[in-house]
Amino acid sequence: MTEFLAAYSGILDAASLVFVVVSLAGFALTASFSRASHTIVVDLAYPVGLLGTLLGLVGMLQNMSDPKAIGPAMAISFLTVLYAAVIHGLASGRSRDLSEIDSTFVKKLVGSLVFVGLVLWAMDSAAGIGAFMDPGAVVLFVLSILFFVIFDRVSGDTSKNGWGVRFLGIGLLGFFTGTIMMFANIYDPKAMGPAMALAYLSLMYALFLLCMGRIWFPGQTLDSEKNINTGFLSLPFPVLIGVIITFAILIMSFK
């Protein structure tokens, strides 16, 4: 038994587990832990897990002095996605119930405050809240949202839904733009810092807005079929592959 626990001790991290479980519990609270809460958890499990991973990675980059420590630190950061996958699996398999749209203001507020509090706690623990503020990523989001608003008005689209996919699209745009900038500056470690900040923080902002939008404005966040594109293959898998690539580039820059 001792050998078993020792072998799997690497996949146990209390802070990561608390971040994922309590965040999703707060979101489930907005639907009074009813059947509708399973739908919320399924929709937001991977976004919360990825958000935790990005918080950990940004914090790690702020305090990285030994390249050999990158591997173990990344393993810990990825644990939030692992925990999210387990919870997603447990909550899946049920028909989608969107009755939480009628949730009360107080429940939404309490669930949101729990989530925001955990995010701020994770930021402060990782590297300080200031490390997660990037003007480039903020400008990208503001301009992109303005573009979509103007586009909808010009095209006459009055449906006002699908913003969850749009948030993810903006985040992935910033992520891959930052990754391309890293490739362009692979032999200049000083120039790679802003590129990685744009990549990770753009996606982090997108995931945060997606979670908040899913709770407060589900009708606008979900697509026309009342779904949200946050399954493993459509969100965590490509992002994790991208993260591995960016860190491979970073390690190469040290040589």
CA–CA separation, 57 vs 221, rounded Å?
A: 27
Which pLDDT belongs to residue 63? 67
Model confidence, pTM: 0.91
Count of Cβ atoms closer than 10 Å to residue 36 Cβ? 21
The number of domains in the chain is 1
CA distances from 196 to 136, 243, 253 (A): 11, 10, 13
- pLDDT at residue number 196: 84
DSSP 121-143: HHHHHHT-GGGG--HHHHHHHHH
Q: Is 72 exposed, middle or buried (0-12, 13-18, 19+ CB in 10 A)?
A: exposed
- The whole-number pLDDT of residue 4 equals 42
Domain range for 139 is 2-253
The reported pLDDT for the residue numbered 255 is 58
pLDDT in tens, the chain (255 residues): 555 444 455 688 889 999 999 999 999 999 989 889 999 999 999 999 999 999 988 888 776 665 666 666 777 889 999 999 999 999 998 888 888 766 789 999 999 999 999 999 999 988 889 889 889 899 999 999 999 999 988 988 777 788 999 999 999 999 989 888 888 877 776 777 788 888 899 999 999 999 999 999 998 999 888 888 898 888 899 888 888 888 777 777 665
Which tens digit of pLDDT belongs to each residue from 84-125? 999 999 999 888 888 876 678 999 999 999 999 999 999 998
